[in-house]
A and B are shown apart, each in its own frame.
Chain A
């Protein structure tokens, strides 16, 4: 590994990535230990469809890609905006300090046109590194910073052995009942998934994204071979559905829903176990339950109890951090005062 002191700023270049860079960027990002699917090219395409502007930068040492990041901006007709970048920084080890400096300088060049008062990043780090010293903890996160990870490296028997007895029991129960599972990228399954998702949102009283969000997400990520819908049926009735994203060595259970019918057949257990087996067969080493809490009073407490039955290791990342652009914030306050003073 290079030491950060040995890298000279003038040996690096930063530039906006184009479509030709897609494969190289994705490959680079997936190779990082803290890689995040929200830094994938396809996710950025999805967000563009959702109305975001995206800014995709690569940092090169000569011809070698050593870092970069995809930044997201939702245009609004006013000056109080955030630039967000879930999953960054993304650097080859050793390039973090100088790379972050370059990225911030590049982002600052966007400010006259974007009117952002802060940049929010959310790396999947377990500790805040010194090069994020000027970033302050945001009050909310872009990703669930506490999650539960299942290690998929052991063989299946060992993964099962590492689960809670109730988890193992319920998986076997779903198998005995004959719950069937399938994984698909067929777009006609989006409404099947969404009906169960929305039923669950209403039952659990969570905020839920609308149907159009899932149409855009599935149309984009399925085409990039990055996601699948998992379905569990029993007696030809759909009882559980999940949406899984594959990125790097990680499979992430991003969304899901289950019917309130026939809970005794444990379709949800069978489906997640099938998803873990499928992820393992695709080369993933981690199954990420994407959101977890050990706090019994947290909104996530109820479904965390379900997830806990699969064993795994709770992990808490450092969460979202903000870098404020004080010149822009000052501009915003002064301009607002000026406009309010006008008759």
Chain B
């Protein structure tokens, strides 16, 4: 179960799950009113005089439920949250802030028989619901900190949400920061569009989130039926809101073009080919290989999604970039640029993406400089022997090359050539060692070391010992680099033996 922490301060409290701020009572109204009020108001407008049924997924703190209860037309609220500890806080410590939304009428002023709470996984709960059974679904989940927590952001999840919504029903979804993790934000947007939900992205400034460097925060407002701009400009809000104002709230649909223009390049997040966690950890567009032919965006350009009605790109990735084989493939693509069409120098984030929320691209960059040192740990003779013992499982040419290499190593003949296949194998070995070290969060911090820079890693890999090996000239720069490193590694085998 996640860890919970309540920070008391002079103006109220701040609540953290796994160390991530969920809300601060000083400004939580900005978050919850934007998440809840437009969605329910739109539903009221679309279903006049009809008793509304609302499903809240997550939201165990009771704050979203509080704002849903503002609407008299809502007759039934179902809240499903898997964490009983958060729900208990919602009924006790948070009661002064949620006005008792999770309690019954006899327990608090806002307590209501309209709310039914289930302690259950939302995906499982929703899967068992009939079609078109809710007018509004509000997703108020925590921002994922582990890959398994991204399921409730997937295409499969949103397809289920679309199924349980009435055709004119409304989805309101807490997203991620379009400012700090733009690729992740637009991934959620594209995923919602792909699920058949016409979606409007929203961008909101929440001071406590900014204080934690989360940046502007994002929400999605959607419906299986397209949302016309005039529907949103004519919404009527309940009285006594703290933040939302009819006259100004639609500014939330305006995004700087620099934040949104690359949204068409982003893959969907699916259970079969997850992308969201990769985007969250490696989100900035600047980390990708930039196409220099694209016209630079003027900084004053803005996009207004109130008017934009677009269908999704439906781009589904071919692989999960955080999978080991995907990382290997990126390296091999740059190893053989003529075959893959990849001619640019890759960003470090694409060679070794960030794998853990505690890490950042600087760590990956630094680790690239350790490649040679990691290889030098390996007993090449022992590894070659193991591989040759299983030669029948290797590609025939590689098996042949390795046998020859092992014979040379054993007999002490000079190494004058590394085949392309061997260099590829050394590349795979290098990436394996890098990934293994970066997979263990504590190992990645490299305590106590002065740290080599990305640049020094490259220069150390190509600075000396060039007489001992050569490539056949068909590799890209990465192939050349790996051949050099691999050659040095094998040469050291001789050197160490002589020592």
Interface residues of chain A, those whose CB is within 8 Å of chain B, are: 49-51, 72-74, 76-82, 84, 86, 116-118, 120, 136-146, 187-188, 190-191, 207, 209-216, 219, 291, 293, 295, 297-300, 319, 322, 324, 326-327, 329-330, 332-334, 336-341
Contact = CB atoms under 8 A, between A and B. Distances in A.
A330 B443 contact: no
Contacts of A211: 16, 19, 212
8 contacts: A51-B441, A144-B447, A144-B448, A211-B16, A215-B3, A299-B450, A329-B429, A330-B387
A326 B358 contact: no
Interface string B435-470: 111011111011111110000000000000000000
Interface string B312-331: 00000000001111001100
Interface stretch (B129-137, B219-227, B252-260, B373-381): B373-381
B442 A80 contact: no
Interface stretch (B300-308, B391-399, B405-413): B391-399
Name the 9 nearest CB pairs between A and B, nearest first: A212-B19, A144-B448, A139-B373, A78-B324, A140-B446, A330-B386, A298-B450, A80-B435, A80-B436
Contact of A72 (B362, B398, B435, B442): B442
B394 A337 contact: yes
Contact of A336 (B5, B428, B441): B428
A139 B443 CA distance: 10
Contacts of B45: none
A190 B16 CA distance: 12
A341 B450 contact: no
A254 to B, nearest CB: 11
Contacts of B230: none
B83 to A, nearest CB: 15
Given A80-B439, A332-B432, A338 B393 contact: yes
Contacts of B358: 209-210, 213
A339 B332 CA distance: 13
Contacts of B440: 72-74, 81-82, 84, 120
Contacts of B356: 74
A260 to B, nearest CB: 19
Contacts of B328: 336, 340
B7 A188 contact: yes
Interface string B406-440: 00000000000000000001001101110111011
Contact of B329 (A81, A139, A209, A340): A340
A84 B3 contact: no
B395 A341 contact: yes
Given A118-B436, A141-B449, A212 B16 contact: yes
A74 B439 contact: yes
A322 B19 contact: no
Given A74-B439, A136-B379, 20 more contacts: A77-B323, A78-B325, A80-B432, A80-B436, A139-B376, A143-B448, A212-B16, A216-B19, A219-B3, A299-B449, A319-B448, A324-B378, A327-B386, A330-B390, A333-B428, A334-B387, A337-B394, A337-B425, A337-B428, A340-B332
Contact of B435 (A78, A297, A298): A78
Residue of A212, A299, A338 most packed against chain B (CB within 10 A):
A212
Nearest to A47: B442
A336 B324 contact: yes
A188 B9 CA distance: 9
Given A78-B323, A333-B387, A137 B16 contact: no
Contacts of A291: 447-448
B159 interface: no
A81 to B, nearest CB: 5
A297 B450 contact: yes
Contacts of B362: 207
